Amino acid sequence: MKRICEMLFVQAQLQQIFWFFHYVLSLGAVIAIFASTIHFLPKMTSSFLIPSPTSQLSLYNLVLVTTGITLTFLPMHFLGFNVMPRRIPDYPDSFHGWNFLASVGSGITLLSFAILHH
């Protein structure tokens, strides 16, 4: 019994680390990649295929990326707390709202890619 309790404690700690890496580090990495692309690509290639750092499209892209990634990964945090099973082909209906919100967030992130590469 002691070994089971130890494993549950380790699993709870690893779940928090897993959430941290997927939510915080992916958000920071994607925004850093977009920001460096917007800022440095026109300087390196002498072309203006993407919006400049001072344009309104760059601001819209930043807001949409932040909103999209937050809407994608934050519901997954709550789904993990509700013990949603992973890697199954069909989820119970009780998780439909959170999964739909995560799907909307993915669509918003995709829209930000379209704005960046108009």
CA distance 102 to 74: 8
State the amino acid at position 23 in one-letter form: Y
Q: DSSP alpha helices (H): ranges in the chain?
A: 2-20, 26-45, 56-81, 96-116
pLDDT tens digits for range 78-92: 887 777 777 777 778
pTM passes above 0.75? no
pLDDT tens digits for range 21-64: 766 777 778 778 877 877 777 777 776 666 666 677 777 888 88
Instruction: Name the strand (E) or helix (H) holding 23.
Output: none
CA distance 40 to 18: 32
